[in-house]
Chains A and B, each alone.
Chain A
Amino acid sequence: MADKVQRIEVTLETQLDSVDLAESIAMRVAESVGFSEEDVHKIGMSVREGVINAYNYGNQQDHRKKITMTVELGGEKMTVRVLDQGKGFDVSHVPDPLDEENLLRTSGRGLFLMRAFMDEFEVRRGHGGGAELVMVKNIPNAVSGNGQNKPG
């Protein structure tokens, strides 16, 4: 069967509500392709962290800027991209939150959680110069990404 890619693109305002909205969209898509409850939670939380990153650090809470979230199903994977309109950042400059000296920091765990919860995670420079967070979760018992649950 040909591997058909399905794609949803959502433009989000740089506001707090976008965090919940993005999370709930990602969770619905994840549920629809048969991820376990725990994986749905992990995907939702990763997307949440990605959008928080775009809202706070990328777009610096500037309401004139947008956040673009893309969800793709295909190749037996769910891929989520979160693109901001900030200046981008070098992931190697982000302190490791597991280092003893960073344990009491009150921020800086978002990237770590995305990396921990997803199967693949990468930070790229988006076409407009902002950061693009790319996170991938492999679909269990994939049905070639056709967006349907397996028959019960």
Chain B
Amino acid sequence: MALQGTTREVNDVVIVDFSGKITLGEGSSLLRRTIKEMIDRGYKKLLINLEDVDYIDSSGIGELVSAYTTVRNAEGELKLLNLTKRVHDLLQITRLFTVFDVQSEEEKALRSFR
């Protein structure tokens, strides 16, 4: 399924709910465009909800890393929420669990932003 993303705002945190696959091509591009748009609009606190994303390939992982550094360079924070088992395992074997702040409850995740 092609990636889709919708955004909602809770206090000063923007939550992006993605569903589908983050893979080479459209999926990776949509993720990149969405992050850029949020940063351009001045958002500094991004919570990426991956609850309905069950497939990420190496390009998608690269795009998530790029999103992380883009937000960090803009002096913001990017966190991941609700990973599926496959995505969780993928971040674990690639050691990216040590890079990303991964949250499993939206309320807690929202409170964890500075």
Contact = CB atoms under 8 A, between A and B. Distances in A.
B33 to A, nearest CB: 16
Given A16-B24, A19-B24, A113 B65 contact: no
Interface in B45-72: 55, 57-59, 61-63, 65-66, 68-69
Contacts of A106: 62-63, 65-66
Name the residue in A19, A45, A106, A110 with the highest tally of chain B Cβ atoms < 10 Å from its Cβ: A106
Interface string A30-69: 0000000000010001001100100000000000000000
Interface stretch (B6-14, B36-44, B95-103): B95-103
Contacts of B95: 97-98, 103
A116 B93 contact: yes
State the main secondary structure of chain B at its contact with A: helix
A109 B58 contact: yes
Given A104-B65, A106-B62, A106-B63, A52 B96 contact: no
A105 to B, nearest CB: 7
A24 B59 CA distance: 18
Contacts of A19: 23-25
Contacts of B63: 106
Contacts of B98: 103
Interface string A11-41: 0000010010000000000000000000001
Interface string A104-128: 1111011011001000000000000
B86 A41 contact: yes
B112 interface: no
B99 to A, nearest CB: 6
